[in-house]
Structure 1
């Protein structure tokens, strides 16, 4: 007999995958809390995994399906993708993977769909066990790597040009690896023992981050989300690479700090904590709803120094100069592909060009709020030179009153690249992140 929760999860995953495919729904926003936790967890795994791996899955499935995959019923195609993901990526026992897929096909379509599913997946599994799965061999390295690691070809070609084959393969593998999560400890390193014990009670294993002593790495996130730890402000989900951007900012007690693109408020909260809640952190966002998220984060952490501001940075007149300004700019997000399953399919060369133009405009606007002698930190979660180093170079050319201020010892030495901070998923085991300090010298 099929496992009832697993079958329910697969049926739910089929529905959600169709929404991703047909309506452009975001994977991370599909969970609605209306199903038991185990069902929801399995469905999330299927949806995120299939979305991430679909180009590779389709390539393999095409060898065992008569005709074109696109001509299959949309529901059947999703069932086959889930089954192939189960066999090739999750490495589920073949009998269980095929049986569950067959039952899912029958439930969403008809008995004939179950028979087709059985034949395709059993043929795929035989090839897997024999080591004869089809492999991309077009002769175009970028295209072949893009198929095998399930990315758009244009992005892989860019990374090959920038990094070479070895680093590109490592980055692609890191982008497909199971996501890892870190928690920021509100009480700092002194709270680690108590928090680790509470996490152990939830069945979560926590270990110190090698990059910051007030972060811990955790092996599971869902029990934490259900526990109330986040609501009480004891911990916050934040990748340590993003947290280290605040180390680059280096806010000091009593200072005026502007977080110029703040929502949902994680960096503003961390800045206020590192200031001992002494001073002011103006947390800016253009969206009323997102400003509400910032205010909520400040309340959970008991912080009075955070001042949420609803404004568009490009038109905001401001309220005096700031000692430190952080611009965590909208970007392509190529440093967080491991956590954002659908992001790789939502980007284009045209969108990248639009982003760099926006980043320039935001940098110019942020610079207007820095006091003489103050610091502007520009950061992204991108690994693209156009969004990182090139934007800094272009900014300095437009603003001769600014200079690049080395990050020095503000972050661990392994994360210092010349004068800037750079974290790479395939090198450091974190999200991708970039930050540069820009010091204003003119009066």
Structure 2
């Protein structure tokens, strides 16, 4: 493989994993940052390989660390220096998941450790990987199951313990297992047509001509990708903005909002922009959409995407959705609230390891503050969609009850035409999707009105 400077694939992967861990970037964002300093004729092939490694290591991180910690003495893999820990994870992944020859897997990692650190650490990692070579994972899991069934499920399916406990309580044991299994399956792609440039029938024909099998979905402007020869993002129509990649449940939000031409719309947590642009498309570039986000970098990416998609009625505003206030009130508001992202584990496995109960409580306080601010910015008789990609009741149904009882919203009886209903006494009036039932992100949507 020819790259513009000498660096082993394992170094690239460890760099990306460390950025994901330390800076809490998405794996895609971390990959982009690392590959800015890489060039050469093999760049795209290496990029694809590195992405596959990072995605799978993040997905199976709990199980990988269980294997490593079963062998380590006096320390844990999480306590090692982050870059060194990630090199060890790469070795374990290659040996126990990819079934690469143990000697080759060990040698590849040890050489990098020797170059980046010193001979002593190289010997340490070599000894650990040699011991892992003979480690029987299934026997260790069987023993764990006898001691702690919940921790066994957490390790076996590589999910946080709190999540396993939560979904068993929420869905029952059998459906919880189905959800855990489904979260670990390959990502499902959905694409939404850009009506400013095409229509769903023309898009279907284009995809068929380019060896992409796609099917209709319950959301009229969204297609489900079943199979493809060429990656979707390499197709000319994607590059020119004829369609976007957007999760099925995410694309339902704009339809529930039901924007009308000429309206003034506020999106309080706009980036990365999928829902904002969808609303703009449904409004046919009429009216005005104020898209607020706290991240200037993400807003700049939205600006670039707007030009590709032909969106002209969106004004980007760098502000905090908890405090933003406009001189005029809005007809409708989208609040796709920041959340635990516990419904997106199939798509973004790295988020599994970022939240605990304490962090989730803080996120809920942000959600409530944004609900209060949305109410202040909304016209009388105005409507808001509240959505999250979380499975949790405290981020969803409980927040809607808060919006009704403490803020002054009324819950709209929207005729959801697919998905499941929710929980608690308001459950029949809200929308939920689950990865194991609907083959998309687990999602929540409710429609509220200010009367």
Distance 1:123 1:244, change over 3 A: same
Verify: 1:216 aligned to 2:205, yes or no.
no
Aligned match of 2:448: 438
Distance 2:139 2:356 in 1: 34
How far is 1:331 from its partner?
0.7
Verify: 1:398 aligned to 2:406, yes or no.
yes
How far is 1:383 from its partner?
0.8
Aligned match of 2:317: 309
Verify: 1:44 aligned to 2:48, yes or no.
no
Residues 64 and 123 of structure 1 are in contact (CA less than 8 Å); yes or no, is this contact kept in structure 2? no
Distance 1:362 1:48, change over 3 A: same
Residues 283 and 294 of structure 1 are in contact (CA less than 8 Å); yes or no, is this contact kept in structure 2? no
Distance 1:112 1:388, change over 3 A: same
Distance 1:363 1:76 in 2: 43
Which deviates more, 244-253 or 224-233? 224-233
How far is 1:280 from its partner?
2.3
How far is 1:191 from its partner?
2.6
How far is 1:258 from its partner?
1.7
List per-residue Cα deviations over 1:263-320 (Å, max 9, x = no partner): 1221111111112223222222234433333333322221222222333333333132
Residues 91 and 109 of structure 2 are in contact (CA less than 8 Å); yes or no, is this contact kept in structure 1? no
Verify: 1:379 aligned to 2:387, yes or no.
yes
Which deviates more, 340-349 or 151-160? 151-160
Distance 2:24 2:407 in 1: 40
**Aligned pairs, how many?**
423
Distance 1:313 1:275 in 2: 23
Residues 287 and 310 of structure 1 are in contact (CA less than 8 Å); yes or no, is this contact kept in structure 2? yes
Counterparts of 1:95-244 in structure 2, within 5 Å, are 96-109=100-113, 116=127, 119-120=130-131, 122-124=133-135, 127=136, 132=139, 134-135=141-142, 136-137=144-145, 139-186=147-194, 187-197=198-208, 199-200=210-211, 205-218=212-225, 219=227, 223-227=231-235, 229-244=237-252
Distance 1:101 1:190 in 2: 48
List per-residue Cα deviations over 1:322-348 (Å, max 9, x = no partner): 221111111111011222222111112
Structure 1 stretches of 5 or more lacking a match? none
Distance 1:165 1:273, change over 3 A: same
Residues 333 and 381 of structure 1 are in contact (CA less than 8 Å); yes or no, is this contact kept in structure 2? yes
How far is 1:99 from its partner?
4.8
How far is 1:164 from its partner?
2.4
Residues 103 and 114 of structure 1 are in contact (CA less than 8 Å); yes or no, is this contact kept in structure 2? no
Residues 102 and 118 of structure 1 are in contact (CA less than 8 Å); yes or no, is this contact kept in structure 2? yes
TM-score, scaled relative to structure 2: 0.83
Verify: 1:284 aligned to 2:284, yes or no.
no
Residues 422 and 435 of structure 1 are in contact (CA less than 8 Å); yes or no, is this contact kept in structure 2? yes
Residues 281 and 305 of structure 1 are in contact (CA less than 8 Å); yes or no, is this contact kept in structure 2? yes
Aligned match of 2:253: 245
How far is 1:359 from its partner?
0.8
TM-score, scaled relative to structure 1: 0.84
How far is 1:118 from its partner?
6.8
How far is 1:87 from its partner?
5.2
Structure 2 stretches of 5 or more lacking a match? 115-121, 423-427
Residues 371 and 440 of structure 1 are in contact (CA less than 8 Å); yes or no, is this contact kept in structure 2? yes
How far is 1:429 from its partner?
1.0
Distance 2:261 2:80 in 1: 62
Residues 266 and 297 of structure 1 are in contact (CA less than 8 Å); yes or no, is this contact kept in structure 2? no
Distance 2:380 2:229 in 1: 43
1:260 aligned to which of 263, 268, 271: 268
Distance 2:85 2:270 in 1: 40
Distance 1:259 1:250, change over 3 A: same
Aligned match of 1:413: 418
